[in-house]
């Protein structure tokens, strides 16, 4: 390579003979390492520091199978950052990264068999992959850091976040004319409704409605959206220390606006994709009810018995109800071996959904009686998840893997491939077959 010019020339001379003799136009212009990795550099910077195992790389990445682009980081508008790991198989992408320096761009040909079976951990080679074929990876190495450099960068980011939190908090207080003094912990408790009776004591069950937002007003979660309050044992860790403190200051029926700084929220920890380190949170809280733990336990026991009766009834009737649904709706498609019924409504023309791919779907989920229990279409917000990793119900992992981007289908999913004997909350009873109308918007 450019960092050891003599050895590079020797290797180039050897691989050129091998590739030329092969005569396959797919490999034309590529060099090959001793392990079988095909590579072609498009740009080589003057940086002499190559990536090492353990380094953190930031890359633009595109990979495709034949002419089908399977993933392109530019499409999602975000470069990828990940550590360089030991090679998973001879001639894999990690080996290619070890040839690169910051500013380099190159194309690598990677065994499709090994990529899907080892890297993507597919249970078997997908039908659309020919054994012995190669995938094309186009890589632009934008940045390269050691773990120590990455740790220092992260600490600097956290320090900046901590300073910015104080600025944002003071601006919020000023802009909203908030003059209430914080408690000793830093909680700003702003009463909106007094409530009646007494305040809860530790060990009692409290039922609350709450809406949580970032200080910029971006809503994170609300029990009001789902219609059901949350019940938990007061005194036990539930959400944030700030919320727990505030609930103890409310009477039944009382409401309050809370400003919860990060020191009594999640501190330096990031929560999901929304709550960054050192984030002040805003709460709207209502204490709906207080009751004893004994009353709660008795109620839960009664509900458990009712569920058992309902479960047994639903289990006994599921097959008959599903058969009637199919007959009433003129559905003649045969179930797959798993029991899933897949009905293609519109054939997609884009990439095939494969295990390991990140897929984006629009869906509407219904019970067999037509009751809609969830719909990304109504929310106007498609749902994304990694396919084949158990992040969704089994019927989804199986059904969506049969689709191509742009396709539409109906999945009729027996309960054993959905939520089984447990159901899902109050909306999906135990042993409930489900119907999903799905549209595969993107395969990344």
Catalytic residues: 363, 373-374, 393, 419, 436
Are 268 and 277 a contacting pair, CB within 8 Å? yes
For residue 377, CA distances in Å to 123, 176, 266, 381, 441 come to 32, 35, 32, 7, 12
3-state secondary structure the chain: CCCCHHHHHHHHHHHHHHHHHHCCHHHCCCEECCCCCEEEEEECCCCCCECCCCCEEEEEEEEEECCEEEEECCCCCCCEEEECCCCCCCCCHHHHHCCCECCCEEEEEEEHHHHHHHHCCCCCCCCCCCCCCEEEEEEEEEEEECHHHHHHHHHHHHHHHHHHHHHHHHHHHHHCCCCCCCCCCCCEEEEEECCECCCCCCCCEEEEEEEEEECCCCEEEEHHHHCCCEEEECCCCCCCHHHHHHHCCCCECCEEEEEECHHHCCCCCCECCCECCCCCEEEEEEEEEEECHHHHHHHHHHHHHHHHHHHHHHHHHHHHHHHHHHHHCCCCCCCCCCCCEEEEEECCCCCECCCCCEEEEEEEEEECCCCEEEEHHHHCCCEEEECCCCCCCHHHHHHHCCCECCCEEEEEECHHHCCCCCCECCCECCCCCEEEEEEEEEEC
Are 33 and 39 a contacting pair, CB within 8 Å? yes
**What is the distance of C-alpha 114 from the center of its chain?**
25
Cβ neighbour number for residue 264 with a 10 Å cutoff = 22
Cβ neighbour number for residue 23 with a 10 Å cutoff = 8
Which is nearest to 182 in space by CA: 170, 192, 193, 194? 170
First to last CA, the chain: 32
């Amino acid at each position: 390579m450019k960092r050891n010019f003599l050895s590079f020339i020797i290797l180039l001379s050897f691989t050129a003979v091998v590739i030329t003799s092969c005569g396959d136009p797919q490999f034309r212009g590529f060099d090959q390492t001793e392990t079988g990795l095909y590579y072609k550099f498009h740009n080589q910077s003057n940086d002499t520091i190559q990536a090492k195992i353990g380094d953190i790389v930031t890359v633009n990445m595109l990979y495709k199978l034949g002419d089908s682009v399977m993933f392109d980081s530019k499409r999602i508008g975000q470069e990828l950052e990940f550590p360089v790991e030991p090679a998973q198989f001879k001639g894999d992408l990690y080996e290619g990264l070890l040839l690169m320096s910051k500013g380099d761009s190159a194309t690598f040909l990677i065994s499709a068999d090994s990529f899907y079976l080892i890297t993507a951990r597919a249970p078997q080679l997908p039908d659309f992959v020919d054994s012995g074929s190669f995938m094309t990876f186009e890589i632009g190495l934008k940045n390269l850091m050691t773990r120590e450099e990455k740790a220092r960068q992260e600490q600097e980011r956290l320090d900046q976040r901590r300073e910015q939190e104080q600025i944002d908090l003071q601006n919020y207080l000023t802009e909203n004319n908030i003059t209430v003094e914080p408690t000793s912990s830093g909680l700003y408790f702003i009463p909106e409704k007094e409530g009646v009776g007494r305040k809860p004591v530790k060990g009692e069950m409290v039922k609350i409605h709450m809406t949580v937002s970032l200080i910029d007003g971006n809503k994170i979660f609300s029990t009001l959206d789902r219609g059901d309050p949350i019940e938990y044992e007061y005194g036990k860790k539930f959400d944030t220390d700030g919320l727990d403190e505030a609930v103890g200051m409310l009477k039944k029926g009382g409401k309050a606006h809370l400003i919860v700084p990060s020191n009594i929220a999640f501190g330096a920890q990031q929560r999901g994709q929304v709550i960054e380190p050192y984030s002040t949170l805003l709460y709207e809280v209502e204490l709906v009810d207080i009751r004893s733990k004994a009353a709660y336990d008795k109620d839960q026991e009664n509900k458990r018995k009712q569920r058992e009766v309902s479960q047994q009834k639903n289990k006994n009737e599921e097959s008959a109800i599903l058969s009637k649904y199919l007959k009433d709706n003129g559905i003649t498609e045969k179930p797959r071996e798993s029991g899933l019924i897949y009905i293609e409504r519109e054939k997609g023309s884009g990439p095939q959904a494969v295990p390991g791919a990140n897929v984006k779907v629009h869906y509407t989920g219904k019970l067999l009686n037509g009751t809609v229990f969830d719909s990304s279409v109504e929310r106007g917000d498609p749902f994304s998840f990694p396919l084949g990793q158990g992040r969704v119900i089994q019927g989804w992992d199986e059904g969506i893997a049969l689709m191509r981007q742009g396709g539409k289908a109906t999945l009729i999913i027996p309960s054993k491939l959905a939520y089984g004997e447990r159901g899902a909350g109050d909306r999906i009873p135990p042993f409930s077959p489900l119907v999903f109308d799905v549209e595969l918007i993107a395969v990344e």
